[in-house]
């Protein structure tokens, strides 16, 4: 019994039901939960959890920062929230975000923009998006862990801008049941914290990564989880046994020189500790941003079809049963400008005259990107059946056909974002395409479904902001990714 007293007490948990200085929590009235709390695991450790507002909770409404969901109250709770409650979580509130996850600065929100606590007085800068509110909640130590979602960088970018850790697991590892979909083939639940260790503990020590969710069709089944876990080494060897790849295509012109310097310094530090650092090339990455901004809006346009004022959404005053004005009223008033832009973009690229030139091409690029990653990693992608070689036909050349021999690496190292957080006042002046540019370094891992993490690194020439550095691993190699991230911080 003494052990229970040795667990840290979290004291009185304040419920964040009002707008805060940084506008990172959503003001919402507490609801009466419909189902009892799940029993806690015997070794559960109490912690404070902030939840992005596109993840369903029973205690608070789930609005996705959108007028169309008004005070939408979910009748059930997301699997991930239940799983974290079993592990000791107390939900302290819902966090502000970009509407339906669409954006990179948490400014496309009915609640107004999230402000970054690292801002200088009177000069507010972006907290990153779309999980900006979750990042700020952990940065300010109001939550120990925050849940976000990462479709094309929405956990990693806010982490980079706020100096926190943002982890996007392998696609299909954590359940998405109860997470409002943006683009199903890319959506991933991610975790934010101030250190790597609490994330590692939660995901691996408590066995979260092994839990299949039958309610989520994209949750990896038990057999596949076992196969993947067998294929990935369980522990990180000493750094002298690791090869770290520097993907040359990530060294873009737009990269802030001081972020580039932090990237080089991180690579040098790993090399000084014995790691082998080599340049690698992922040629198709150059098309990743374009492919992402075709695929994500296409999936979004289909997902958001249900917000029509009938099944979901708020009905306008003139709503008629014939549906003439019902849809346009509900959607016209309910969606913000960026969401409307994505719906139009997605509907167009899926239309019969544009499909071949846009959607199909983007799918092809996605395959090439996945192949590029598989070629540079030492480990095979465990999702694919192991290749059957015919020994009689096998030569040294055929064996290396899909791998680039000496340049094979354990992990890739890159910056998370091309620049430091921009000023909120400048964001308003920028075009949306200009904004999309911000995601250029995070979308490749999303398109390939790979685990990636952003860690803050002290940047020599910036006193105000740390630089976000990204590590990417082969599919399901998450455990070693987190172990290495812990050495980089
Ligand atoms: N900024 C990207 C977008 O707007 C990524 C968002 C996300 O990961 N949810 O689509």
Across the chain, mean pLDDT equals: 91
Is residue 372's pLDDT more than 80? yes
DSSP for 225-265, written as a single string:
HHHHHHHS-SS---GGG-EEEEEGGG--TTS-HHHHHHHHH
Tell me which range, 6-15, 73-82, 455-464, is most confidently predicted by mean pLDDT: 73-82
What own/partner pairs with CB < 8 Å and gap ≥ 24 does 205-209 have?
Answer: 206/41, 206/43, 206/87, 208/83, 208/87, 208/174, 209/169, 209/173, 209/174, 209/478, 209/479
What are the tens digits of pLDDT across the range 8-44? 454 554 445 445 689 999 987 888 888 889 999 999 9
User: Which of 63-72, 260-269, 340-349, 359-368 is predicted with the least confidence, judged by mean pLDDT?
Assistant: 63-72
3-state helix, strand, coil in the chain (%, to 5): 35, 15, 50
pLDDT tops 60 at residue 7: no
**CA 62, 64, 65, 66 torsion: positive or negative?**
negative
Task: Name residue 415's beta-bridge partners.
Answer: 469
Instruction: Name the catalytic one among 66, 106, 131, 154.
Output: 154
In three-state form (DSSP H/G/I as H, E/B as E, the rest C), the secondary structure along 209-225 is: HHCCCCCCCCCCCHHHH
pLDDT of residue 152: 98
Which one of 130, 131, 284, 301 is the catalytic residue?
130
Distance of CA 454 to CAs 29, 133, 156, 337, 435, Å?
Answer: 33, 17, 5, 29, 19
| Domain assignments of the chain as residue spans, ordered by start | 2-237+412-488, 289-349
289 vs 267: CA distance, rounded Å:
25
Across 92-120, average pLDDT? 96
Cis peptide before 107 (omega within 30 of 0): no
119 is catalytic: no
Active site residue 154: yes
Say yes or no: CB of residue 293 within 6 Å of ligand 1. no
Q: Kindly provide the ipTM of the predicted complex, given to two decimals.
A: 0.98
pLDDT-derived band at 3 (thresholds 50, 70, 90) equals low
Atom of ligand 1 nearest to the CA of 150: 8
Both tokens assigned to 465: 């902001």
Q: What is the pLDDT of residue 401?
A: 47
Q: Does pTM surpass 0.90?
A: yes
Strand partners, 246: 279
Please compute the mean of the pLDDT values over residues 222-246 and round it to a whole number: 96
CATH 3.90.1300.10 fits 2-237+412-488, yes or no: yes
Concerning whether 240 is annotated as a catalytic residue, the answer is no
The mean per-residue pLDDT over the stretch 55-79 comes to 93
pLDDT for 390-425, tens place per residue? 555 544 444 444 555 457 999 999 999 999 999 999
Distance 46 CA to ligand 1 centre (A): 31
Predicted local confidence at residue 2, as pLDDT: 54
- For the CA of 151, the nearest atom of ligand 1: 8
């Amino acid at each position: 019994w003494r052990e229970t007293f040795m667990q840290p007490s979290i004291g009185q948990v304040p419920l964040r039901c009002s707008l805060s200085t940084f506008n990172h929590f959503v003001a919402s009235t507490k609801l009466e939960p419909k189902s009892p709390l799940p029993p806690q695991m015997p070794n559960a450790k109490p912690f404070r959890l902030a939840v992005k507002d596109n993840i369903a909770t029973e205690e608070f409404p789930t609005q996705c920062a959108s007028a169309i969901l008004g005070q939408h109250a979910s009748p059930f709770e997301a699997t991930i929230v239940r799983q974290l409650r079993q592990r000791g979580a107390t939900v302290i509130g819902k966090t502000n975000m970009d509407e339906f996850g669409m954006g990179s600065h948490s400014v496309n929100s009915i609640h107004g923009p999230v402000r970054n606590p690292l801002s200088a007085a009177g000069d507010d800068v972006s907290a990153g998006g779309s999980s900006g509110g979750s990042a700020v909640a952990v940065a300010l130590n109001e939550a120990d862990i925050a849940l976000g979602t990462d479709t094309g960088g929405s956990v990693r970018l806010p982490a980079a801008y706020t100096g926190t850790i943002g982890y996007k697991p392998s696609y299909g590892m954590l359940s998405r049941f109860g997470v409002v979909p943006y683009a199903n083939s890319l959506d991933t639940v991610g975790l934010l914290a101030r250190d790597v260790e609490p994330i590692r503990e939660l995901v691996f020590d408590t066995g979260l990564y092994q839990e299949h969710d039958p309610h989520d069709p994209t949750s990896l089944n038990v057999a596949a989880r076992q196969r993947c876990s067998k294929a990935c080494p369980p522990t990180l060897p000493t750094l002298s046994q690791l090869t770290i790849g520097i993907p040359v295509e990530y060294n873009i012109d737009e990269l802030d020189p001081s972020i580039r310097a932090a990237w080089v310094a991180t690579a040098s530090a790993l090399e000084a500790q014995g790691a082998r650092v080599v340049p690698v090339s992922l040629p198709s990455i150059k098309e990743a941003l374009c492919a992402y901004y075709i695929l994500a809006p296409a999936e979004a346009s289909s997902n958001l079809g249900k917000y029509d004022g009938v099944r979901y959404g708020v009905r306008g005053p003139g709503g008629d049963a014939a549906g003439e004005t019902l849809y346009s009223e509900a959607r016209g008033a309910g969606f913000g400008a960026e969401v409307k832009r994505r719906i139009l973009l997605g509907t167009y690229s899926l239309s019969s005259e544009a499909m071949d030139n846009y959607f199909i091409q983007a799918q092809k690029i996605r395959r090439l990107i996945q192949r590029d990653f598989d070629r540079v990693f030492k480990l095979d992608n465990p999702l694919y059946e192991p290749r059957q070689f015919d020994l009689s036909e096998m030569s040294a050349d055929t064996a290396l056909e899909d791998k680039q021999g000496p340049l094979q690496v354990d992990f890739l190292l890159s910056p998370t974002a091309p620049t430091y957080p921009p000023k909120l006042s400048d964001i308003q002046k920028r075009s949306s395409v200009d904004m999309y540019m911000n995601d250029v370094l995070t979308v490749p891992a999303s398109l390939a479904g790979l685990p990636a993490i952003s860690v803050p690194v002290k940047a020599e020439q910036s006193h105000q902001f740390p630089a976000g550095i990204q590590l990417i691993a082969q599919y399901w190699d998450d455990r070693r990714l987190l172990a290495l991230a812990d050495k980089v911080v």
